[in-house]
A = this chain, B = another copy of it.
Amino acid sequence: MDTQAYLLQLGQAAKRSGFALANLGVIAKNRLLGRIGTELQLAFDDILAANGKDVAAARASGLGEAMIDRLLLNEDRLKGIIADIDNVISLADPIGEEFDSRLLDNGMRLCRRRVPLGVIGVIYEARPNVTVEIAVLALKTGNAVILRGGKETRESNIALAAAIRRALASEGLPEDCVQLIDNPDRALVSGLLKLDKFVDMIVPRGGQGLQRLCAEQATIPVILGGIGICHLYLDKDADTNRAADVIINAKVQRPTVCNALDTLLIHQDKLGWLPKLAQSLQEKGVKLVACEQSRKQLDGAGIASEAASDESFGTEWLSLTLGVKVVSDIDEAIAHIRHYSSGHSEAILTDNLAAATHFMNEVNSAAVYLNASTRFTDGGQFGLGAEVAVSTQKLHARGPMGLEALTTYKWLGIGDYTCR
């Protein structure tokens, strides 16, 4: 079958399957999720064997150990993936709620009803856990899903998707509620991004390159996200005795993720404290990339650093590197954030109420913190129970996306043969 014919069939099957899911009640959907857990359990050894093939192929092709660790499934990890399904089962189902109901002057009753989006396309990297996680979240909200995982986890994804599809079939639902594009041809990604007749939303879960590809090629609405150039501004009225822990937490607790701290903006009055902080950071393995003024201070205390640049301030480090910049006041900090931020997460540390208010008002990222670590921007931490992605755009959903981000609403109008 040629690419276009394959994509057409894929889209049609997804749309048709979405209609079959749209009006399922929560008990039926939870039973389905439970069945997925059972099927994954039944296929436990097959899935690990399939993953073993992926790992062997990755090793043979010279992939680094960090990458191999990302795609590796072992008994514990697969058990964890299955256990996480129970968490999604326990979440409230947003579908079906009616809200904003009103009686119009002409006697018509009008309301909005929360409904599934329909079909969601998810493009992601070599993380087999995402295959199950996204399928389960999509099904919980009555959506069909088209999955396109990294080619390095092809065998694992085939085994996982097959188990999920068996669960669908055994519940009397169309298997095509969950479809996996297992052909590594890149043309299929471009084609998927243009299936606007059938797919309602694209979620790219991956790096800057994938995000740009989707923004540029998609004719379907895309949720961009997951890129965090995050800032923390240490105000002149911050309590430095307490601030160090927060800065270290934001940078060090998990440096490879999007909500980790990238740039520390430090008020010039606090410059004298910088060496002490820098020492604590360096003890944790943090490398500093600092502006001229802060380097002078660090040099004076014998602390090594590299020179920051316009480019370095626009970098998401995803590692134990921290940009440092001295600012003369809070407005310089805000201006820096507006210029360099990716709109993910920013924080101010201060005991001054006016500074706190000003920062919270003027900084317009998805999450803005007062006296807290940027590391909190996370669906689990926010109590959403699940996280589809972290959106850094402003439409539809912003910041951590829970189940509701996989829904829309329709307007229902009930008249009595009512004319305008």
Contacts and interface: CB of A to CB of B under 8 A. Distances in A.
A210 B411 CA distance: 26
Q: Give the copy number.
A: 2
Given A249-B420, A408-B394, A369 B221 contact: no
B201 A372 contact: no
Interface stretch (A160-168, A300-308, A377-385): A377-385
Nearest to A356: B414
A227 interface: no
The binding surface of chain A is classed by DSSP as mixed
A415 B365 contact: no
Interface stretch (A30-38, A43-51, A237-245): A237-245
B420 A253 contact: yes
A372 B249 contact: no
Interface in A378-420: 381-383, 393-396, 398-400, 408-420
B367 A417 contact: no
Contacts of A215: 196, 219
A226 to B, nearest CB: 16
Contacts of A281: none
A376 B420 contact: yes
Contact of A394 (B117, B242, B246, B253): B117
A408 B419 CA distance: 34
B377 A411 contact: yes
A413 B361 contact: no
Contacts of A338: 19
A153 interface: no
Nearest to A119: B394
Contact of A216 (B219, B239, B364, B413): B219
A276 interface: no
Nearest to A248: B419
A412 B246 contact: no
Contacts of A396: 221, 395-396
Contact of A413 (B118, B219, B253, B376): B376
Nearest to A399: B411
B369 A413 contact: yes
A381 B249 CA distance: 52
A189 interface: no
Given A369-B412, A369-B414, A398-B411, 19 more contacts: A23-B361, A104-B381, A108-B376, A110-B383, A200-B395, A216-B219, A221-B221, A246-B418, A249-B420, A253-B420, A368-B410, A369-B415, A371-B415, A372-B417, A372-B419, A373-B419, A373-B420, A375-B420, A382-B411
Q: What 9 A-B pairs come out closest when comparing CB atoms?
A: A372-B415, A249-B419, A242-B417, A394-B408, A395-B396, A375-B420, A372-B418, A396-B396, A367-B411
16 contacts: A104-B382, A117-B394, A221-B394, A245-B419, A246-B417, A249-B419, A249-B420, A349-B417, A369-B413, A369-B415, A372-B415, A373-B415, A375-B420, A376-B420, A381-B420, A382-B411
